[in-house]
Amino acid sequence: MQSTFKSSAKSLKTGLVSAAAMCALMAGIQTAPAADAVPQNDNLNATLWTQTSVEFKATALTAYSLATIMLDRALADKNWTAATEQTGNYQNLPPAVILDVDETVLDNSGYQGWMVKNDKSFHPKTWAKFVNTISSKPIPGSLEFTKYADSKGVKVFYVSNRNTKLEEATRKNLEAYGYPMGGNVDTVLLKRERKEWGSKKGNRREHVAKDYRILLLLGDNFGDFVDNYKGTLTERNNTLVSHADKWGKSWIAVANPTYGSWESAPYGFNYKLSGDEKRKMKLDSVDAWSGE
């Protein structure tokens, strides 16, 4: 009897050890993929498209090719102006074009890539560090267009919402590639360069319009063309339609799927919401097929 009991105890012990080993093995199998899991980020596809696709390059080249054609037409038509802020007798003023900088002239997708790979969000401090690396590259077609405009005697202005503290780095980045810089005229107009120059760009366009006939506006964000860009989705669309005669003529947009007022509009530009809350409101704004 004692021998039978010892044998049973030994078998039970062996079974428990085997079960524990199996549990540990299964736990290892279950947790191993987590260590190699690829982080999820809403901006991955957009950044990938911007950096690697020929389609992005093609759309940018198309926009700037159109801008070149329209520039010549604008030069030939003294009554042509792109700025709603342009008033008075502007017909004989010297010509100018206004371009946004980020994602219109300079490609900052390296910063987007850093955020995607490190699960980070935009922050003024990290953005300033990136800008000061002076590593942004030209958006395809932008350099050729600005040089062409300059060769035609058209003053090229860069109206950007980069903070004025970043002006030196911005100028160095533009100069490094040979963008026209305006000579003795300040053509890099940044946010807060003057007290009244906030995020809305209308007063800076008005500033340029006092001395120049503005032929074209080029940008990647609705706010590069109008000041009332922070409305609802319906309001934004109505504003777009109300300026239908300008798009593709005197207003030319460059595609930017990585960020912009389009991304904030679904959640009412309430940046205090959590990431999940913003994502939910964006998802609710998506029109979807009901399924089979």
- Rounded CA-CA distance 156/69 in Å is 16
At residue 34 the predicted structure's pLDDT band, cuts being 50, 70 and 90, is low
Q: Of all residues in the chain, what percent carry a pLDDT higher than 70?
A: 88
Q: Which residue has the higher pLDDT, 35 or 213?
A: 213
In a domain, 174, yes or no: yes
SS (H, E, C) 41-83: CCCHHHHHHHHHCHHHHHHHHHHHHHHHHHHHHHHHCCCCCCC
In a domain, 51, yes or no: no
In a domain, 250, yes or no: yes
Q: Which residue has the higher pLDDT, 115 or 6?
A: 115
**Three-class SS state of 213:** strand
Note the pLDDT tens digit of each residue in 1-29: 444 444 544 554 445 445 545 554 455 54
Phi first, then psi: give them for residue 257, nearest 5 degrees.
-90, 0
Task: Domain of residue 137: give its range.
Answer: 57-284
Total domains in the fold of the chain: 1
Contacts 24+ apart (CB under 8 A), 44-47: 44/116, 46/112, 46/257, 46/258, 47/109, 47/112, 47/113, 47/116, 47/258
The DSSP symbol for 252 reads: E
Note the pLDDT tens digit of each residue in 231-272: 999 999 999 999 999 999 999 999 999 999 999 999 999 999
Note the pLDDT tens digit of each residue in 79-90: 999 999 999 999
Say how many residues make up the chain.
292
The per-residue pLDDT for 17 is 45
- Rounded CA-CA distance 285/226 in Å is 23
In a domain, 36, yes or no: no
In a domain, 39, yes or no: no
In a domain, 117, yes or no: yes
CATH number of 253's domain = 3.40.50.1000
Task: Calculate the alpha carbon distances from 130 to 101, 103, 107 in Å.
Answer: 15, 14, 12
In a domain, 25, yes or no: no
Note the pLDDT tens digit of each residue in 183-233: 999 999 999 999 999 999 999 999 999 999 999 999 999 999 999 999 999
The tally of CA atoms less than 13 A away on the side-chain side of residue 95 is 22
Tokens 């919402």 correspond to what residue?
A: 161
Task: Calculate the alpha carbon distances from 74 to 60, 100, 149 in Å.
Answer: 21, 19, 11
Cβ-contact 263, 112 below 8 angstroms? no
In a domain, 165, yes or no: yes
The per-residue pLDDT for 2 is 47
